[in-house]
Amino acid sequence: MKRFRLLSSIKGRVTLWYTGFLLLMMALALAYLLIFSQQVLHRQLSTRLKDVVSDTVRDAHFQRGQLQDDRMDFYKDGVSIFIYDTQGRLLAPKINQGVQVDALLEDQVVKEVENNDERFFVYDLYAVRDNIGFWVRGICTLTGATGTIRGMFQLALLAIPTVVLVAGLGGWFITKRSFAVMGRMADTVNAIASGEDLTQRIPDDGSGDELSRLSHTVNGMLERLQRSFENQRRFTSDVSHELRTPTSVIISQCEYGLSPETSPEERENCLRGVLSQAQRMSTMIGQLLMLARGDNGKFEPTWEQVDLSLLCELCAAQLEEKAQEKKVSLETGSCEGAIIVGDETLLIRLVTNLLSNAIQYNRPGGKVSLWVEKKENGFLIKFQDTGIGIAPEDLEKIWERFYRADPSRTGEGTGLGLPMVHWIVKIHGGKVTVESIQGMGSVFSVWLPQHPPSENQS
Ligand code: ADP
């Protein structure tokens, strides 16, 4: 049961896999070392054997048919030397060293011989000195050296399980630590899924490794999700709040209009009230739809050549009546060849929104100036008014949907005009800024490039 639990976790599988792999690699390395070291050892021994035998041949001398062995060395570098005559009779050493092996004398052949459970390397060389032929035999034992290798092998066999165990435990510990982040990630995602609490974040140890980067990415995604959910929630509550007022007005106007006591004039007034509220709602719904299409990336602008000076004059002419009603004078200034590639319908909305705000938030006897000037690779449209101005703390917020600086939130505004302006400027790749002094007036500046960043962008 425990084994299966181990295999069902990634860390268990990873640890098992690499421990098994390590074991295999160590076994292969050991086998290779054993074979290789035995070959090297045999090669070294046979070279040494040949050298010692050749040295002995060089040192051997005969006088009156007798070998002069008093100065000769019969044991050198682990090699025992024996000298035989041509009949195979031992000439030297006189004292038996006890390592003699029973093997035929063969010239220049290294052979492996087993004697009394001991293994030897034997090398014979036939030579002639002082006109006398003789054999020199060198013998060295293999048992000691092979025993050392065997001992090393047995030691390694004992060490392998310890090394594998330590590596396995170490690996298990490291993978467990690394995968703990994934466990926490799963817990966080579960907590979000069950409680819908998007404020939770995955702890990030900041190590910069793959899992830390994954935590960072997931946290970034949660951040965006949270922001988008909050926007959606605020948006829904704002829309319902904004629609509640006109709907209540329409209901009460209708109820009053339908009452038998209401006079025809009052009924007409009621209808006018209903119409005005319905128009306001219709404007708001139109703006909302357009913004929503922009948000979804479904809006396809129609790019065409637009003369900004002409467009501004056209919009100003349309709002002339409203300006007169508000006792505000309207002044426009044109710029030769202010032609850009843009969406004309959207640009008309942009200019109309900013211009009607400049009239709306003006004072009787005030003035609105609208002009176009060339700037960098585009044109700047300026809307200057002598109106109520905007408080510094509101300057950032006026771009938010449904935000209206007027705390009573009365009047015909919807709080969607400036967000629309912002969105239109954005899809044209432009910039919009505002400078305002409360009680003195405001200047809205819209810079539009001659060409939008991508004519397919929405
Ligand atoms: P609204 O439909 O209320 O005009 P906007 O998004 O166009 O919505 O404007 C948001 C708020 O910014 C307005 O309610 C108003 O308080 C403020 N505002 C916009 N333009 C001006 C201006 N030219 N002068 C003073 N206040 C302005």
Question: What is the atom index within ligand 1 of the atom nearest the CA of 420?
Answer: 6
Q: How far is the CA of 287 from the centre of ligand 1 (A)?
A: 15
Q: State the pLDDT at residue 458.
A: 43
Question: What is the atom index within ligand 1 of the atom nearest the CA of 416?
Answer: 6
Q: How far is CA 291 from the centre of its chain?
A: 33
In eight-state DSSP terms, residue 131 is T
Question: What is the atom index within ligand 1 of the atom nearest the CA of 415?
Answer: 8
- Residue partners of 202: CB distance under 8 A and separation at least 6: 181, 184, 185, 188, 215, 218, 219, 222
> What is the signed CA dihedral for 278, 284, 285, 287, rounded to 10 degrees?
150
- Residue partners of 282: CB distance under 8 A and separation at least 6: none
- Residue partners of 289: CB distance under 8 A and separation at least 6: none
The protein residue with its alpha carbon nearest to ligand 1, atom 11, reads 404
Q: Which of 242, 359, 418 to mutate to test the pocket of ligand 1 (most atoms within 8 A of CB)?
A: 418
- Residue partners of 94: CB distance under 8 A and separation at least 6: 69
Q: Say how many C-beta atoms besides its own lie within 10 A of residue 129's C-beta.
A: 14
Q: State the pLDDT at residue 237.
A: 82
Q: State the pLDDT at residue 456.
A: 46
Tokens at 373, concatenated: 């000037």
Q: State the pLDDT at residue 136.
A: 94
- Which residue in 5, 147, 136 sits closest to 79, CA to CA? 136
Residue 97 phi, psi dihedral angles, 5° rounding: -85, -5
Q: Which of 290, 390, 445 to mutate to test the pocket of ligand 1 (most atoms within 8 A of CB)?
A: 390
| Cβ 62 vs Cβ 129: under 8 Å | yes
For the Cβ of 413 lying below 6 angstroms from any atom of ligand 1, the answer is: yes
For the Cβ of 417 lying below 6 angstroms from any atom of ligand 1, the answer is: yes
For the Cβ of 420 lying below 6 angstroms from any atom of ligand 1, the answer is: no
- CATH assignment of 304-456, given 3.20.20.70, 3.30.565.10, 3.40.50.970, 2.30.180.10? 3.30.565.10
Q: State the pLDDT at residue 408.
A: 57
3-class DSSP assignment, residue 326: coil
Q: State the pLDDT at residue 308.
A: 96
Rounded (10°) angle between helices 344-360 and 417-427: 140
Q: State the pLDDT at residue 117.
A: 79
Kindly give the confidence (pLDDT) of every residue in the chain, 458 residues in length, as a single tens digit, with 9 standing for 90 and above.
455 566 667 778 888 888 889 889 988 988 888 888 888 888 988 999 999 999 999 989 998 888 888 888 888 888 999 999 999 888 888 776 667 777 888 999 899 888 877 888 999 999 998 889 999 999 988 877 777 777 888 888 888 888 888 988 888 888 888 777 778 778 888 887 776 677 888 777 777 777 788 888 888 888 888 888 887 887 788 788 888 888 999 999 999 999 999 899 999 999 999 999 999 899 888 888 888 888 777 788 999 999 999 999 999 999 999 999 999 999 998 888 999 999 999 999 999 999 999 999 999 999 999 999 999 899 999 999 999 999 999 999 999 888 888 765 555 678 899 999 999 999 999 999 999 999 999 999 999 999 998 654 44
The protein residue with its alpha carbon nearest to ligand 1, atom 19, reads 357
The protein residue with its alpha carbon nearest to ligand 1, atom 16, reads 405
CATH 3.30.565.10 domain locations along the chain: 304-456
Q: How far is the CA of 415 from the centre of ligand 1 (A)?
A: 7
For the Cβ of 340 lying below 6 angstroms from any atom of ligand 1, the answer is: no
Class of domain 210-295: mainly alpha
376-395 pLDDT, tens digit per residue, is 899 999 999 999 999 999 99
For the Cβ of 138 lying below 6 angstroms from any atom of ligand 1, the answer is: no
pTM: 0.57
Q: State the pLDDT at residue 407.
A: 60
For the Cβ of 381 lying below 6 angstroms from any atom of ligand 1, the answer is: no
122-131: Cβ within 8 A, 24+ apart: 123/46, 123/49, 123/50, 123/53, 124/53, 125/53, 125/54, 125/57, 127/57, 127/60, 129/57, 129/60, 129/61, 129/62, 130/61, 130/62, 130/63, 131/62
CATH 1.10.287.130 domain locations along the chain: 210-295
143-182 pLDDT, tens digit per residue, is 777 777 778 888 888 888 888 889 888 888 888 887 777 7
